[in-house]
Amino acid sequence: MIISASRRTDIPAFFGEWFVKRLLQGFAMFRNPMRPTQVFAISLFPEDVDAIVFWTKNPKPFLEKLEYLKDYTYYFQFTLNPYDTDLEPNLPDKNVLIDTFIRLSDIIGPKRVIWRYDPIIITPRMDMIYHLEKFEELCEKLSKFTTKCIISYVDFYKSAVPSLEKIKAVDLSDDEKLELFYNVGQIAKKYGLSVETCAEAVDVEKIGLRKAHCIDGALIEELRGKKYDFKKDKNQRLACGCVQSVDVGIFNTCMHFCAYCYANYNRKAIEKNVKEMFDENSPLLCSRLDLTRDEIRIRIEDKSYPIKLDEILHYRKSENEIFQRSFIDDKDDTQSKLERIISKLKRSIFS
């Protein structure tokens, strides 16, 4: 199983302590965004996790926690754009972010730090020339510390339209996107970087670029030194090249407050969710389990198995021997995994 942490929020920037506690406890839970009362529990034991993909704009607070990942395969999608506080109001200074990028690359290696110049937004103030100049400036500083850059053009999500209209963002035609992407690719080539496009329907292969696989099965196979039968993620957009993963984040919790964001809908809701619902000891991010309302299922690979309420409520702390036995059992069959997660779930709820 591949863990996405997370397309829905910036876990390294804001919730690193929560994530580390999930690793130490060996499991996490997440709500189905389409059906919020359906809650999935997943194992985070190293033997059950093929890889962790971190998505972030500021992993600086997480650097000191990388030691907890020594038994895991992982890499970072690090977004670093040329925007000011009108679009990215709650990010550190660009020089701080560049320094963080370099430090992260020095620790884990360039191949595991993927630069995202994403999304590109054209406005009267930030035209194509602006972006090409800024992109080259960043290439000069980052090219020794990564191997590729992933780009896309901004999507006019309903939640982002008011902010994008305010800055007079332009919705480019396909031909204009291809021109932009081609020029970005030519600059990147000078610095030895490959460029891939994220979830873009336009035919970028005819201009010498590749379509991105942000959750990248081939990279994970390379990092782990073995082959897998990863499947395309059918829950993503048609043009998305990602393989299947499980996302442990939650919408409306990212405090970068970026104007173009698809994962945030309301700033007051974000502040309320984080202030009132965040508990680093909860198995759910910015949420709490409600045993009277929530349907709990255990997710193993692409299947899930229901847990009856009685299975949880009949737990007794004296069952610690059973708990210990279920976790040292080295069988890799589905029943063993189910027992491990159920035992951990019970222990967490009643501790």
Q: What is the mean pLDDT of residues 52-73?
A: 98
Taken as a whole, the chain contains a residue count of: 351
What pLDDT, on a 0 to 100 scale, did the predictor assign at position 302? 81
Q: What is the mean pLDDT of residues 59-85?
A: 98
What pLDDT, on a 0 to 100 scale, did the predictor assign at position 312? 62
Q: What is the mean pLDDT of residues 102-109?
A: 98
Q: Which of 111, 181, 100 is closest to 146 using CA atoms?
A: 111
Tokens of 79: 């977004």
The yes-or-no verdict on residue 192 having pLDDT over 80 is: yes
What pLDDT, on a 0 to 100 scale, did the predictor assign at position 323? 35
What pLDDT, on a 0 to 100 scale, did the predictor assign at position 324? 37
What pLDDT, on a 0 to 100 scale, did the predictor assign at position 303? 85
Q: Which of 318, 313, 340, 345 is closest to 329 using CA atoms?
A: 340
Q: What is the mean pLDDT of residues 114-138?
A: 98
Residue 232 to residue 256: CA distance in whole angstroms: 30
SS (H, E, C) the chain: CEEEECCCCCHHHHCHHHHHHHHHHCEEEEEECCEEEEEEEEECCHHHCCEEEEEECCCHHHHHHHHHHCCCCEEEEEECCCCCCCCCCCCCCHHHHHHHHHHHHHHHCHHHEEEEEEEECCCCCCCHHHHHHHHHHHHHHHHHHCCEEEEEECCCCCCCHHHHHHCCCCCCCHHHHHHHHHHHHHHHHHCCCEEEECCCCCCHHHHCCEECCCCCHHHHHHHHCCCCCCCECCCCCCCCCCECCEECCCCCCCCCCCCCCCCCCCHHHHHHHHHHHCCCCCCECCCCCCCCCCEEEEEECCEEEECCHHHHHCCCHHHHHHHHHHHHCCCCCHHHHHHHHHHHHHHHHHC
What pLDDT digit, counting tens, does each position of 229-240 carry? 999 998 888 889
The yes-or-no verdict on residue 338 having pLDDT over 50 is: yes
Q: Of 109-113, 135-139, 164-168, 339-343, which range is least confident?
A: 339-343
What pLDDT digit, counting tens, does each position of 297-335 carry? 989 888 888 887 666 665 444 444 433 333 333 444 676
Percent of the chain with pLDDT over 90: 77
What pLDDT, on a 0 to 100 scale, did the predictor assign at position 301? 81
Residue 134 to residue 323: CA distance in whole angstroms: 55
Residue 240 to residue 228: CA distance in whole angstroms: 19
The yes-or-no verdict on residue 118 having pLDDT over 90 is: yes
What pLDDT, on a 0 to 100 scale, did the predictor assign at position 346? 60
What pLDDT, on a 0 to 100 scale, did the predictor assign at position 159? 82
- The answer to whether 99 and 47 have CB atoms below 8 angstroms apart is no
What pLDDT, on a 0 to 100 scale, did the predictor assign at position 349? 55
What pLDDT, on a 0 to 100 scale, did the predictor assign at position 314? 59
The yes-or-no verdict on residue 95 having pLDDT over 80 is: yes
What pLDDT, on a 0 to 100 scale, did the predictor assign at position 326? 36
What pLDDT digit, counting tens, does each position of 236-275 carry? 888 899 999 999 999 999 999 999 999 988 889 999 999 9
Which residues pair with residue 292 across a beta bridge?
A: none
Q: What is the mean pLDDT of residues 188-193?
A: 98
What pLDDT, on a 0 to 100 scale, did the predictor assign at position 311? 65
- The answer to whether 33 and 4 have CB atoms below 8 angstroms apart is no
Residue 215 to residue 3: CA distance in whole angstroms: 9
What pLDDT, on a 0 to 100 scale, did the predictor assign at position 306? 87
Q: What is the mean pLDDT of residues 281-305?
A: 89
- The answer to whether 161 and 261 have CB atoms below 8 angstroms apart is no
Torsion of the alpha carbons at 308, 309, 310 and 312, rounded to the nearest 10: 100
Q: Which of 176, 183, 179 is closest to 134 using CA atoms?
A: 183
- The answer to whether 54 and 11 have CB atoms below 8 angstroms apart is yes
Domains of the chain and any CATH numbers: 2-277 (3.80.30.10), 309-350 (no CATH)
User: What average pLDDT does the structure give for the chain?
Assistant: 90
